[in-house]
Amino acid sequence: MTARIALAAAKSGRPISASRRRLGIAASVLTSAIISFSPCALADENGISFWVPGFFGSLAATPQQPGWSLANIYYHTSVSAGADVARAREFTLGRVPGNVTLNANLNLSVNSTGDLGFVVPTYVFATPVLGGQASVSLLAAYGVVGTSLAGTLSGVLTGPFGNSIPFARSDTISDTTWGFADVAPVFQMKWNAGVHNYMAYVMGGIPIGAYESTRLSNLGIGHGSIDAGGGYTYFDQQAGHEFSGVLGFTYNFKNPATQYQSGVDMHFDWGASQFLSKQVLVGLVGYVYKELGCDSGSGDRVGCFRSQVVGVGPQIGFLFPVGDMQGYVNLKAYGEFAAENRPSGWNTWVTFSVSPPAPGAPPTTKPVVRKY
């Protein structure tokens, strides 16, 4: 995706500096760099969400240049969790008898890593819609996820007639899955008013990726989801200052394989950046994720199981020409903390995006464009 920024000089008729034109291009390619999705995430079932924190970042609400663009993203994640998530995995895998109630002491842990490659084509419509700009994207991915569960589960199994049976077992299981992920179409609307930019979006999760409920590692989620929200970007092109925030909510449909339905999730992604030169920007990114509703369904054996996590980290970006196109590379990373009922650790995103420059302009400059 390429950003479609209205420069203040357009109204005054003053000449536009090369620096300010370059900032407009940076906005365009960075907008595509922050769009990504990790299908190694499941539902809040097992402590992982459909929404992958970090999906949106800097310049998320800036309008875009009409036409096609393409982002290619490498995503790596490494997370772990303790007894709460491990116990949920034991239930999902069917390793605890379903006709008993388990009250147990656990010394279990789960560890997972994922490496995925994303292709994100986007089309931005030239004709204004509701006084703003509309775009559609499709997120698809292929990769590998590996997960291991190890430790000791011990306690008392209470049978259907109230009889107690001692229970103890040591588990060491692991698996690795290669395959395609679920696909996620995204529709966005964006508006610009000087340094202020606004956006609204809706995203759907189509569960066609590699998924088996009895497997530790999956690239699909096993059920559909709908996510929607809105965001704001402050972008001062003259000074190179930027801040963005996007708030959204996820509704999860029931997983037909496990009869488990996750509660409603809330997430807030943010990014802040400063342009150091015409080609380089640096900044911070972060997110807050929290499940608001309780999990439910006949397959829920762990109760409400609300999850949360907070993440923060650095970002850096570089602009450069690619033939007649505009290229951009962005690196961002997050360290996670304050996790509850959810795996946590760290993740990195490396994005290479290619987008057309504004009509009639070389790939390293940007003329005045219309404002939405």
Residue closest to 256 by CA, chosen among 307, 287, 212, 202 = 212
Residue closest to 114 by CA, chosen among 33, 36, 45 = 36
CATH number, domain at 286? 2.40.230
Q: Is residue 91 part of a domain?
A: no
**Would you state the pLDDT for residue 32?**
41
Q: Is residue 161 part of a domain?
A: no
**Would you state the pLDDT for residue 10?**
30
Q: Is residue 369 part of a domain?
A: no
**Would you state the pLDDT for residue 293?**
83
For residues 275 and 281, give the distance between their C-alpha atoms in angstroms, rounded to a whole number.
Answer: 4
Contact by Cβ (8 Å): 243, 236: no
Q: Is residue 174 part of a domain?
A: no
Contact by Cβ (8 Å): 229, 248: yes
Q: What is the pLDDT of residues 244-265, one digit of tens each?
A: 999 999 999 999 988 888 889 9
Q: Is residue 368 part of a domain?
A: no
Quick check: helix, strand or coil at residue 160? coil
For residues 174 and 104, give the distance between their C-alpha atoms in angstroms, rounded to a whole number.
Answer: 22
**E-state strands within the chain:** 2-3, 64-65, 67-81, 101-124, 133-158, 164-180, 184-193, 196-205, 225-236, 241-252, 265-275, 280-291, 308-322, 325-340, 344-355
Q: Is residue 276 part of a domain?
A: yes
Its pTM stands at: 0.80
Total tally of structural domains belonging to the chain: 1
| Average pLDDT score over residue span 172-196 | 94
Quick check: helix, strand or coil at residue 99? coil
Q: How confident is the model at residue 72 (pLDDT cuts 50, 70, 90)?
A: very high
Q: Is residue 44 part of a domain?
A: yes
**Would you state the pLDDT for residue 297?**
83
H/E run at residue 371: none
Contact by Cβ (8 Å): 203, 227: yes
**Would you state the pLDDT for residue 5?**
33
Contact by Cβ (8 Å): 316, 57: no
Question: Which residue range is the domain that position 69 belongs to?
Answer: 2-80+111-124+181-214+222-355
- Answer with the residue of higher pLDDT: 95 or 304: 304
**Would you state the pLDDT for residue 278?**
82
**Would you state the pLDDT for residue 359?**
59
**Would you state the pLDDT for residue 106?**
65
Q: Is residue 51 part of a domain?
A: yes
Joined together, the tokens standing for residue 273 give 């950046």
For residues 248 and 235, give the distance between their C-alpha atoms in angstroms, rounded to a whole number.
Answer: 21
Amino acid at 329: V
Joined together, the tokens standing for residue 235 give 């972008």
Share of the chain above pLDDT 90, in %: 46
pLDDT for 361 beyond 50: yes
pLDDT for 283 beyond 90: yes
Which segment, 105-119, 154-168, 235-249, is predicted with the most confidence on average?
235-249
Burial class of residue 157 in the structure, from the number of CB atoms within 10 Å of its CB (0-12 exposed, 13-18 middle, 19+ buried): middle
Residue-averaged pLDDT of the chain: 80
Q: What is the pLDDT of residues 31-45, one digit of tens each?
A: 444 443 333 333 356
| Average pLDDT score over residue span 127-136 | 95
| Average pLDDT score over residue span 76-80 | 93
- Answer with the residue of higher pLDDT: 108 or 58: 58
Amino acid at 169: R
Find tokens 């999906």 and name the residue. 55
